[in-house]
Structure 1
Amino acid sequence: QTLHLLKFTPRLKDVLLRVLPILGSVRDGQRPVFANALKCWCQAAWVYIGDASSGLPFDDDVMSFMNSVFELLLKVWTGSRDLKVRLSSVEALGEMVGLVTRSQLKSALPRIIPTMLDLCKKDQEVAFTAAHSLHNLLNASLLSESGPPLLEFEELAVVLITLLPLVSVNISKDERSYISKGLKWIIPDPYRHIA
């Protein structure tokens, strides 16, 4: 299977040339199919990058196509009323976040983070998928080797404040106690006095 992924990525430009013109007219019923395809193509690119010694295998045209697809998914498809469309779009965006330019990712953060956090509040299956995409987004935003973190502390705090209650609902009593003890070391206690 890896061999097929490695063969596919150099042909991504040709695929995007054919798909990009029709993406804007795809109806909600077919958007999850296209979003899943985009997700798989991005995963193939990640396998290719991991196997290759060089960086991104994309030329300027492919980067421009990826940026256009990213914008369409972010600005149009994630705004759909259909939960399947929103979720599949967020899942595709989660795979794309490390493949688009840093400037585009930075400008997308105010819109993409609330969208992902909103999906994290849904049932467990939806939340798991959204949390995986959020994980990829945070990695791309905070752990980049090509510049400073894209998220400010305040923005990250909003993410954590939103996620902590969701995590506490879905864990056992023993795990909750363990997390509570760990948070005491992370979150300053104004009443704790230094002897």
Structure 2
Amino acid sequence: MTVLQKSGLEENIRDILEILGEDPNREGLIDTPKRVAKMYKEVFEGIGVEPATALTTTFDSEGYDGMIVVKDIDYYTFCEHHLIPFFGKAHIGYIPNERIVGLSKFARLVELTSKRPQVQERMTEQIARSIHEVLQPTGVMVSVEGQHLCMCARGVKKPGTSTVTTVKKGSFLNDESLIREFERSIASK
């Protein structure tokens, strides 16, 4: 984000405060436009970055063909419909074909998909597709749990509700035993 763009964002935040009836010159709000612009730069840093770039370094699986599960990856993102947060956990399971990736790369992949205005369904698909395309595993399954403030704090106001989205590719599409193994893995503590 260029200085001019950041400045324009700060001015727009200031305008929003005025439209809402606030005085952007009062002590508590003087630096708010600057802080909000800085926060937006951070939380939307994934815009324009292809999520699959998180998986660029792969390794030989050395014959390992069992399921690999990385679970409870925290994420925070913004609903693209209301620009308010939703957050939760992502769970990733895959069966390598010939290539594996460092486990921390899955956290980075989730991070890249969440650092943009998002919907949970697309985020789940982007994670699964990136893994499927880069690693070409036998199968991949991704489950994302989310709590959406647009549902909990406004509108229908149903706090405590959560949404679960799941994408299956390859061998996970038709193999119920793999699906159950993945589900048991993410349910265990």
Q: Whose RCO is larger (CA < 8 A, sep 6+)?
A: 2
Q: Which has the higher helix share?
A: 1
Q: Which is richer in strand?
A: 2
**Normalising by structure 1, what TM-score?**
0.29
